[in-house]
Structure 1
């Protein structure tokens, strides 16, 4: 076999591998929100600890850096209903606070909750607005006050939450 033919076959092989690799990357990123498909994954399953404004530890599922350099948080959930919950917003907001306390990067004030209903189901993303730092601090203070009996528990907006709450008895009429 001549050298020209070998170079031609090798070049064809490289082109095919490159095309397959690009298809694979595109297929693997199809579940991401469109905004994050070209973004760089910067953190995956990473633990962050901060001491200010209070001691907190948060594990980020995923964090992506967009083209402007802003980090956008993403939380993966497996659940029966295709929706985000307020607890997801709190979780992502604490992650944002811990990340901002640990590094100097700009972190978006929104994030994504990606829900998968079963092992074979399509993943659906929900964009959520994160809570400001003051609201997270207020939630932590309220929790501490409840645990030290310095605040009175009140009924939740969603009745189902009351059934699993540790303060159900003191709250009951």
Structure 2
């Protein structure tokens, strides 16, 4: 893998820049060449817009997305047919008295639909292999647990 790049542009200047703590918005856009722009804001607890993605949302989404893509790859290699996949990742964080924050852990909660008759034990075991490959999971310094649930798709008759 090579280099990765993005452009982050602060959009929160309300006319006076950062002249005072309450004089600017915590908004920005993320741009990557040839891709849709993403409008972002700070976490709502820190004065951000609750309708926009914040860094924590994007971080958890990246972790869950990387896991999902590797799961689909390994399932395909193992002959396990995945018909649907969704996840609602949750992160646990802490903020120190000086305001510095960090993630302490994350839990991925994938719901995976497979055909009836699928070896669910084999399908579940694939999750244990992903941390070996996933670029994002290999880059974090906190534990990531996976709590998969499987749905069996009945065959059409």
Which bracket does the TM-score occupy, shorter chain normalised?
0.3 to 0.5
Q: TM-score, normalised by structure 2?
A: 0.32
Larger-gyration structure (1/2): 1
Q: TM-score, normalised by structure 1?
A: 0.30
